[in-house]
Amino acid sequence: MRDIKSKCELELDPVFYPWQLIQGEGETWLILRQKKKINTREIKEVRNISLDMFNWSVPYKQDGRSLYRGKIKFTVYYMDKNEDDFNVTNEEAADEESCCRQLLYTAKAFHPENMKKRENIPSAFSGTVLDEIKPIEEQSFESNGVAAWNTEIPWQAWLYGEGEEQEPKVVKIHVGQVGLRTILLEVVIRLYTKPDLRLARFEKTKSMLLPKEEILYTIKEDEIQEVIGVSVNRAFYSSSVDPLTGCLSLRDLKKTTVIFVSAKKGGEKIMTASSLSNEHTKMAGFPVPLFPPAVYRCLNRVLDILKVDSDKVLCKNECLWSLEYEIEDAKEQREEKLTPAATAGDYGPAQVQAVVPLRKRPGEKWLKNNEKRSKTQAKTGMLLKIVK
Amino acid sequence: MRSMGIETEKVIPEGMPAELLAQYNINFRSCHKQENAWYVENEHDSYLIYEHQGNTEKLETALKWQDYLTGRGFTGVPKVVENKAGQLYVIVEGRTFFINELPSKVEFNGKKAENLLLAAEGLGRLHETSRGFYIDKVINNKKESWPKIFQERLTSLLTLFGMLKQERVRNDFERLYVENFDFLYSQGQEALQKMVMAGCGAGHAEHSDRTMLVNSFRSRELAVCDKGVLFLNLREWDTGSKTNDLALFINSYLPLHRWDQGLLRKIMERYRKNNSLNTCENVFLIGQLRFPSRYWLYTYQYLNGLNSIPELTQQFKSYVHDCYWRDRCLDSMESWL
């Protein structure tokens, strides 16, 4: 197999509250976000966090998709500032008030277009990103006057894809202070299936494992501290027969999302960046029937993710396509009525085959350049070359 | 007005035009420069020779007002020294100068409650004494009323908030801005409500009793002498309701005392010793005190890149605390005012 290196620029996605879903093929990333204004004057520091509960159930499961539903419960421990800690007074209040008095009359009204460029400045507020939460001895906090914020977050998400379903996992937690008295909590939950090529649906249908590809993703407007995952989702499938090669040609819209921990200090740390692109795949060697596939399925498997720079991620993945020319249930119902001649031939036994990438046929370049030649002539020419 | 009969010294202080001293009869023993002024002393008296930048019409009114006040025995402003020709200010080499006679004084310290009480008493008397002073021409002809200005400024704050809600916040200033917007905006709305209640929109409290206003209470512009507090700078004058001055003074110095309710009450009592406020003015005052003016100021400075972001963030943080103390103090003030 040959590696294909390509580049892709990702744009930073907006941050959403209280949840953000990234649905991919065989995995779903769920980012839960909570901001809580504590009823205090100012938080001195966020001390720790404990995961008190994480449960889920699967109330619905059908047609290669499962609905997961659950609850997650945390306790965040923080310390308040005492009244004595507020010893900072603005000595220049009188100057500022006098200056303000003049400006209130004379200053022009604010228009966003006249605004100076907003600067990114590292935050003075603290925060922690955790992979897992270790149990805490609560008694040690109670004695030190540490207050606690309990939060229970319900969640729900679809998981699409074939394979052996795995237990949902909390893969990353970020807790930090984002203001004088605001605590931010971000949780990343991963739902995924273990891709299994031997699963019935892939075995019974025409499948094709495409060559592994390496893609270098560049993320704009942020810096990566750590990559959490890469999610790929495809939609709007269409197919045609390539007139030149006679092989099946697939087109779809591909959305790639990189989930990462931002290196920027302050605010939300769990970020996502995405790109939407048109994908064109030629399935060389794939038997082409006289009518298009009824169902398209794609199983994307991320093999390796590597952060190569503060804004670059190298991702190696492979993709298994599966096409159904007739829906299984419908096929069973009609089986008695159909003649054997109609079902044989086109629907052969399961094939999972790795193919070499499409290469140019001998003389193809020459044929393309010669626009005056007809298709019939081209075919004749190629035939002659092969005979040689 | 007072003409000086003092012999001119030959030594000219650095930066001062030679012709200037020739127009005054001032003899001095020592001299040193302070920003746009020279502090001059002789055996008996001290003077401040100011170089004025800006509008001379406004200066002329300020000096006339100052002269009017001292002429009526008000000791809270320094005496203006006339030149040999009896003018309150002179223009030499295209530069404008005037001289104030200073009594012996000490610096004004806003952290000392007694200084604030003296200033409040002096301000009350100043407003009262100024009643008879009418200016021929209003240079700073402001047509906008305070509620309209406040409404416009609140709209600006709301516009920025809407923008920040849609985008990722980029620094701690924006973080604090978003976090405290609800509270500070509601303070602004309450301020407006009070002003409307005071009837100022219809020209009541704001316009019915217009008086001359000091309009600036920087600590370097105040001094304490044996007769009370001196208001050294009247050049920022404005006209309007006396509550404008009172609100500015309280907003300038109460943060240094964490909006001490007892102190505020005493300040009001001392002001009322020489002046009185009617119900409308009381409500108008509370409205002015509540408006989050410095929230708007910091935002203005931030949007125009006029100050460093870490510095603005620190000031804003301190202001948020001020506002919580202020809110508590003003709630109580409404019950006793």
Q: Which chain A residues touch B293 with a CB distance below 8 Å? A: 97, 100-101, 104
Reported confidence tier of residue B142, pLDDT bands at 50, 70, 90 = low
pLDDT digits (tens, 9 = 90+) for A217-230: 999 889 999 999 99
Residue B207 above 80 pLDDT?
no
Put simply, whether B320 touches A (Cβ < 8 Å) is yes
In chain A, which among 125-144 make CB contacts under 8 A with chain B? 125
Lowest mean pLDDT among A158-172, A332-346, B132-146, B251-265: A332-346
Contacts B325 to A, Cβ<8 Å:
none
Residue A354 Cα distances to A115, A247, A285, A319, B280, angstroms: 56, 16, 10, 10, 87
Quote the mean pLDDT of chain A. 79
Best A98, A102, A222, A265 member to test B by mutation, with max B CBs in 10 Å, is A98
Average pLDDT value for residue range B21-46: 80
What pLDDT, on a 0 to 100 scale, did the predictor assign at position A140?
Answer: 56
Residue A342 pLDDT > 80, yes or no?
no
In this model, does residue A92 exceed pLDDT 90?
A: no
Q: Which residues pair with A238 in a beta bridge?
A: A251
- The pLDDT tens digits of the residues spanning A136-169 come to 655 555 556 789 999 999 999 999 887 788 899 9
| pLDDT band (50, 70, 90) for residue A373 | very low
B172–A182: do the CB atoms touch at under 8 Å?
no
- Band (pLDDT 50/70/90 cuts) for residue A383 is very low
Task: Record the pTM.
Answer: 0.80
pLDDT grade, residue B31 (50/70/90)? confident
Tell which A residues from 175 to 204 touch B, by Cβ distance under 8 Å.
178-182
Contacts of B102 (CB under 8 A, 6+ apart): B45, B46, B47, B48, B78, B223, B230
Neighbours of A324 (CB within 10 A): 17
**Alpha-helical regions (H) of B104-203:** 113-129, 146-166, 172-197
* Site from A91, A100, A111 to mutate, B interface, most B CB atoms within 10 angstroms: A100
The pLDDT tens digits of the residues spanning B84-103 come to 888 999 998 889 999 999 88
Choose from A184-188, A363-367, B89-93 the range with maximum mean pLDDT: A184-188
pLDDT band at A365 (very low <50, low <70, confident <90, very high): low
Residue B55 exposure: Cα atoms within 13 Å on the Cβ side: 10
Please give the structure tokens belonging to residue A245: 């090669």
Q: Which of A80, A111, A114, A121 to mutate to test the interface with B (most CBs of B within 10 A)?
A: A121
Q: Considering chain B, what is the average pLDDT of its residues?
A: 87
For the packed helices B242-253 and B279-290, what is the interaxial angle rounded to 10 degrees? 40
| Structure confidence at residue A370 (pLDDT) | 52
pLDDT given for residue B124 in this prediction: 95
More confident of the two residues B145 and B232: B232
**Per-residue pLDDT at A203:** 53
B331: left (phi > 0), else alpha (psi -120 to 50), else beta? alpha
Average pLDDT rounded to a whole number, residues B49-74: 91
* Partners of residue A39 in chain B, C-beta under 8 Å: none
Q: A259: distance to nearest CA of chain B, Å?
A: 17
**Is the minimum CB–CB distance between B294 and chain A shorter than 8 Å?**
yes
Give the residue with greater pLDDT, A253 vs B210: A253
Q: What percent of chain A has pLDDT above 70?
A: 75
Does B296 contact A at CB distance below 8 Å?
yes
Quick check: B203 pLDDT over 80? no
Position A200 scores a pLDDT of: 45
Residue B136 has a pLDDT of 56
B103 vs B173, higher pLDDT: B173
**Has residue A325 got a pLDDT over 50?**
yes
pLDDT at A386 over 90: no
Write the pLDDT tens digit of every residue in A290-313: 888 888 888 788 889 999 999 999
Q: How far apart are CA B27 and CA B43, in angstroms?
A: 9
ipTM: 0.88
- Strongest mean pLDDT among A278-292, A316-330, B132-146, B309-323: B309-323
Chain B, 176-195: which have a CB under 8 Å from a chain A CB?
176, 178-180
Cα–Cα separations (whole angstroms), residue B62 to B87, B88, B212, B232: 13, 10, 10, 11
B25-39, B112-126, B131-145 — most confident range: B112-126
319-378 in A: which are within 8 Å (CB) of B? none
Identify the closest residue of chain A to B214 by CA–CA distance: A98
